[in-house]
Amino acid sequence: MDSYFLAIREILEASGFAGLTGGHLTMITVSLVMLYLAIGKGFEPLLLVPIGFGCLLVNLPLSGIMDEGGFLYYVFFGTEHEIYPVIIFMGIGALTDFAPLIANPVTFLLGAAAQLGVFIALFGAMTMGFTIKEAASIAIIGGADGPTSIYLTMKLAPQVLGAVAVAAYSYMSLVPLIQPPVIRLLTSKADRNIRMATLRPVSKLEKVLFPIVTTIASGLILPASVPLVGVLMFGNLLRECGVTERLNLAAQNEILNITTIFLGLSVGGTMNAERFLTPATLKIIFLGLVAFIFSTAGGVLFGQLLKKWSGGKINPMIGSAGVSAVPMAARVVQRVAQQENPGNYLLMHAMGPNVAGVIGTAVAAGVMLTLLT
């Protein structure tokens, strides 16, 4: 009988219940909330589902899944060495049509202006006690680009990866809620009713040359941006050259999907209770919101300047699409425009600064890497 009770005791001591703490329970709850938001509300499900489940896995006590030799330990290799974010950029390039930006190159300036929040959050994070490298990693959330946030954070401050990734993807999913009030605050009804002329057609030659020229220019001006911008442009070249359809489809689908799963699981795997449940996490989430709001405002305010420069031909709302959340930010502009005037179609005009924002955020990350490493 004693041996029976001893066996029961050994089983209980080896179970997860023996190691379960309040921190584990809190993080399991966080993971369930993320899964609910992704599945029940549709908030960035392609990434929040694997991140949330990775968070769940790593907070089950004694599983060893993130310890040396564990499954997530090896999956994390691709995140730790910045492989997954770069591969995802290739997939984004294969999915992205840069024609609206090529047809109206001035909108590239809106993508640059929408990085305002990145630099405001950078200084804000430093005043709140973060190191310069941690502050840069937090600030890049303002670009609304999850892969870039992960790439830069792993380079500069991997200890804050979990909080930065969750904040970045959460705010990307909340674009339709966060941006409209900022747009309305900084534009008048007359501004929102401005109609823009139809974009000119873009030739195939222009579409093929764009990724090549962009890669050369960014590589020579800012070498640190090459892994992100160069691979983004490679994916776009697969799309536009017309002779690599199988590679293009693979980059858009199988490769991108598999990498997204591994990236999400490994990022979730960094969200253990000991590392995530700190006052710094709340600060990061707050600073991410500040960065995103000011990035939206920066794009709209620069849009106001372009409106005056163009004699009223540019709708300043399209500046809000200068963040990297493609195509959600452009769709927000279209929805706000049609609420004012159902006949006002700004989607393709907003796609110009929207795709420019992808490049702009990657360049901003390159600037920070150049200055801080």
Report pLDDT digits (tens) over 296-351: 999 999 999 999 999 999 999 999 999 888 888 999 999 999 998 888 999 999 99
Averaged confidence pLDDT in the chain? 90
What are the extents of the domains in the chain?
2-372
Return d(Cα 191, Cα 175) in angstroms, integer.
Answer: 21
**DSSP-derived secondary structure for 125-189:** HHHTT--HHHHHHHHGGGG--HHHHHHHHHHH-GGGHHHHHHHHHHHHHTHHHHHHHHHHHHS-H
Structure tokens that stand for 342 in this block: 């159902």
**DSSP-derived secondary structure for 10-46:** HHHHHSHHHH--HHHHHHHHHHHHHHHHHHHS-SSHH
Report if pTM > 0.85: yes
Confidence (pLDDT) at 56: 94
Confidence (pLDDT) at 134: 95
Query: Is residue 18 predicted with pLDDT exceeding 90?
Result: no
Report pLDDT digits (tens) over 86-130: 999 999 999 999 999 999 999 899 989 998 999 999 999 999 999
* CA torsion angle 100 105 106 107 (round to 10): 30
Query: Is residue 19 predicted with pLDDT exceeding 80?
Result: no
Q: Which of 151-155, 219-223, 233-237 holds the top average pLDDT?
A: 233-237
Asked if the peptide bond before residue 158 counts as cis, ω within 30 degrees of 0, the response is no
Report pLDDT digits (tens) over 136-169: 999 998 887 888 999 999 999 999 988 898 888 8
Query: Is residue 173 predicted with pLDDT exceeding 80?
Result: no
Amino acid identity, residue 319?
A: G
